[in-house]
Structure 1
Amino acid sequence: MKELLEVKKIFDILAATSSRKEKERILEKYKNNRMFVECLQFLLDTYIVTGISKKKISKSLNSVNYSNLNNVYDMINYLSKNNTGRDIDIKTIQVFANQNEELKKFIIGLATKSIKLGLTSKTANKIMPGLVREFGVMLAENYDKNKDKLGNKEFILTPKLDGTRIIVVKDKNSIKIFSRQGQIIENLIDIEKDFIKMPVGVYDGELLAEGIYKNSKERFKDTLKRCRIKGTKTGLKMVCYDYIQNINDFYAGEDKTPCYIRKNKLERIFKRLINELKYIEYLEPLYQGRDVTMITKYLSEMISNNEEGVMINISDESYQCKRVKSLLKVKVFNTCDIRCIDIEEGDGKYKDLLGNIICDYKGYRLGVGSGFTDEQRKYYFINQNKILGRVIEVKFFEETNNEKGELSLRFPVFLRVREEGKEVSYY
């Protein structure tokens, strides 16, 4: 266990610094330490799941059989193959961790993949190229800035859903559900049961609260509320809009199958299982063709129904796990996700309440004072840690320059604080 103790020390050093450059220096120094590299790869690879949570690992299992593990390599190999969180798997890790009191917490942290290093796969791959498979999904550009990309090409229009993006990877042995950022989402029991019936592949879609809502914003609030439940998450459904049949293509970052074929395959799957699925459904296209006037027509319909907008897929384009110009979003107002860096107290009726937040917009200070309810102004002024430093979503009419020539936004309006882990995005 002496070698693993050294790995623990390196992990502690990485976690202790917030400097990206210092983390890179540490990685460079220890990149030839085989055990460190394997433990780091195991921890950072989102596609590797163990099925063991911090809650499960404390389970009392006195009379359960277990497998003997001699070292951390055995543990990594074992969990890579046995990742459904069975009692035998939990007991196996418990016994291995209990062999060394000094390393017990570290071993459990590895097995549950709960160690926080403040390190991304991108940083690790910069020092050790190809070490970690990077998680990515296809993201849209704004239609207004990329109308020329459409030309006379055939496209597919679908409603823009305002939910939580999820990716389901269904293979022969397991069903893994990921957030847009690559974090494992657990306890979506209803959706997982439906996916048992689905063919192997990668399913891209949106998690939405079930029920009838007056607008998409109300549905989104309820969706987030249900997603944040620690235990079994109910009252949620997945609406699927893309499908990659070969999982390895997703891991590689691109499925070259044209969009219209991917959607046709997905539609056939749902038609075949129409009477067997309750919590997952197919998002029917609004239009397929070359008539660009349909974009405005359906956008108007969406807006009149209090929906957010429409999405445009160019029919013959591939699925790429990055932001692309073959997928475009159309909204009356644009939105961006920017970080709140300061809070200002209001005056007049808003004295002793939040008056304005200051955000970092492309390196410039941007004031956002509209969009807050009175309750939110009180809550965020008292609980500033709930918004300060967090990424927030802002809607705006257009990007502009202020009187100093600095970048700014016209009519910025606060929409919501985004989920933890959300990155800044200007798209």
Structure 2
Amino acid sequence: MMKKYVEIFKEIKNESSRKGKEELLRKYENVEGLKEIFKFVYDPLVKTGLAKKKIEKEVCLPTYTQLETIFDAMAYVILYNTGSDQIIQSIQIFLKQLKTEEERELAKSILTKDLPIGISSTTLNKVYGKGFISKHKVMKGQKYNPEKHLTKGEEFIVSLKVDGFRSTTKNLEEGSEFITTTGAKYEGLIELEELMKKLPTGFVYEGELVNVNRDNLSSSDLFRATQSRLKKHGIKKDVRFLLFDMIPIDDYEKGVFDVPYKTRRSFLEETIKKSLPADSLISVVPKFYVGNDKDVIDDLFLEAIGRGEEGLIIHLSDGIFELKKSPSILKVKPEEEADLLCLDVVEDIRGGKCGSIIVDYKGHRVAVAGLKEKWKVDFWKDPSLVVGKIVEIKYFQESKNEHGGLSLRQPSLNRIRDDKDEVSYS
């Protein structure tokens, strides 16, 4: 069957139009095992512990597990997703028994969940039905625009925008689940799991995970420290859970809860006050203002930035909970911009278009993935449209990469500066 899969995936990759790819997915829908492969690759909850570089690592152990088919290999790495040398050797021996190099490359792409054929989980759900690939949704906010928002005198609540990692936490009778924005689970948060036992079950608690800040780190440094801790395997201590909402599980799963935010927040504050001590690792995000005077927002924002915080969040007091990007939540945070030289284009991991551009930022190569769809197509067809040009990049803040070099948080391409030939920084 691997030969057949190679042919199918090659045909899908070479089809340039979205509609054409969808037609091919329908055409091959009943090919045995194809949907199983799609679910394995695109389900964010499936973890394999493998990457292409890791698979190519040299190992030599006396024992291995015999795997006959790609489905044996898929089941094996799901069950044993540690990426250990024993796993790698078993996968390498499986790959060697495949007949062609094309089959081996496809198997690597499947097992590392990196299948560059130009489709997404959204495409698969459109073709094969909603829920074919499970997608975890969260309520998101919009960027605050003083000309557009809060123009009718409505009451709002201003709170801190925590620069942490979002967790949707379901508190069940049998225990709590801390869930990432992609639907994966945070593991090893034993202190928080113990504290959740003191809170009412049957609710979803929305909040941000962030390290205990004993060293008084800036917002950006604390973000990196939290990221490093959450990425590590094993037990993770000294992590705070800063809450901003509390929704009954049944209503959360329906996607709508029409109780106003002001009421939900009051109930959350009272629940935490009654259930946990004031110095607990679980607390409610501090609020700075309740009222309808939008003139206070600028002052509160400047104060937050002056303290090194990320920004502010505005909740409309009468805003309901809904699992979508909602005008009931408004984000207030700074935005920087710089005119930088574009060095290169990088292919999208799904193939067939540009996934990011590389710019030079103060002598450091920085990937910018915030591209419009048209740019993704055009830049890949003709890199000269952007490579060697000055481009205007918007970003949240300067940061450091894992090697200690300079990088940018949340960079996006705003426009190509055909009118400029010099680099400039904001």
| TM-score bracket for this pair, using the shorter chain length | 0.5 to 0.7
Please report how far the alpha carbon of residue 42 of structure 1 lies from its aligned counterpart in structure 2 after TM superposition: 8.2
Q: Report the Cα distance in structure 2 between the residues aligned to 1:182 and 1:148, rounded to whole angstroms.
A: 31
What corresponds to 2:324 in structure 1? 322
Corresponding residue of 1:104 = 72
Q: Which residue of 2 aligns with 1:138?
A: 139
| Equivalent in the alignment of 1:273 | 275
Select between 184-193 and 277-286 the one with higher mean Cα deviation: 277-286
What is the distance in 1 between the residues matched to 2:238 and 2:210? 9
Query: Are residues 1:122 and 2:155 paired?
Result: no
Percent identity (aligned):
23
Alignment partners' CA distance in 2, 1:192 and 1:128: 37
CA shift at 1:174, angstroms? 4.2
Cα shift at 1:179: 1.6
Match of 2:410 among 387, 393, 400: 393
Q: Which one-letter code corresponds to 1:28 in the other structure? A: R
Distance 1:207 1:266 in 2: 17
1:232 maps onto 2:235 in alignment: yes
2:410 aligns to what SS in structure 1?
Answer: strand
Is the Cα–Cα contact under 8 Å of residues 219 and 308 in structure 2 kept in the other structure? yes
Distance in 1 between residues matched to 2:6 and 2:131, nearest whole Å: 17
Q: Which residue of 2 aligns with 1:72?
A: none
Shift of 1:216: 1.1
Flag the 1:185–1:335 CA change in 2: closer, same or farther, 3 A: farther
Distance 1:53-1:186 versus aligned 2 partners, 3 A rule: farther
TM-score calculated relative to the size of structure 1: 0.64
Q: Deviations over 1:66-89 (max 9, x none)?
A: xxxxxxxxxxxxxxxxxxxxxxxx
Check the 8 A contact 2:142/2:326 in 1, yes or no. yes
* Distance in 2, Cα, partners of 1:11 & 1:264: 57
Structure 1: distance between partners of 2:230 and 2:7: 31
- What secondary structure, in the 3-state scheme, does the structure 2 residue paired with 1:286 have? strand
Cα deviation, residue 297, structure 1: 3.0
Following superposition, the deviation at residue 27 of structure 1 comes to 3.2
After superposition, the Cα gap between the structure-2 partners of 1:182 and 1:358, relative to the gap in structure 1 and judged at 3 Å, is closer
User: Are positions 1:160 and 2:177 aligned together?
Assistant: no
Equivalent-residue separation in structure 2 for 1:291 and 1:332 (angstroms)? 21
* Structure 1 CA distance for aligned equivalents of residues 402 and 43 of structure 2: 40
Tell whether the 8 Å contact from 2:171 to 2:204 is kept in structure 1 after alignment.
yes
Q: Secondary structure at the match of 1:176?
A: strand
Q: Does 1:342 align with 2:340?
A: no
User: Once superposed, what is the RMSD of the aligned Cα atoms?
Assistant: 4.5
Q: Secondary structure at the match of 2:221?
A: helix
Distance 1:223 1:16, change over 3 A: farther
Pair 1:236–1:291, CA change in 2 (3 A)? same
2:245 to 238, 242, 245: 242
Rate the CA distance shift 1:266–1:372 in 2: closer, same or farther, 3 A: closer
Q: After superposition, what is the alpha-carbon deviation per residue over 1:92-128, rounded to whole angstroms, capped at 9, x for unaligned?
A: xxxxxx9985443222345579872646431221102
Q: Equivalent residue of 2:141, what SS?
A: strand
How far apart, in 1, do the equivalents of 2:223 and 2:237 lie?
15
Q: Deviations over 1:142-183 (max 9, x none)?
A: 112663355211111111111111211223334222222222
Distance change >3 Å, CA 205–CA 411, structure 1 → 2: farther
How many aligned residue pairs are there? 340
- Which runs of 5 or more structure 1 residues have no equivalent in the other structure? 1-5, 56-97, 382-386, 414-427
The one-letter code matched in structure 2 to 1:188 is L
Structure 2 gap segments, 5+ residues each: 51-64, 82-110, 339-353, 376-384
How high is the TM-score relative to the length of structure 2? 0.64
Distance 1:310 1:175, change over 3 A: same
The offset of 1:258, in angstroms, is 1.7
Q: Compared with structure 1, are the counterparts of its residues 16 and 285 closer, same or farther at alpha carbon in structure 2 (3 Å cutoff)?
A: farther
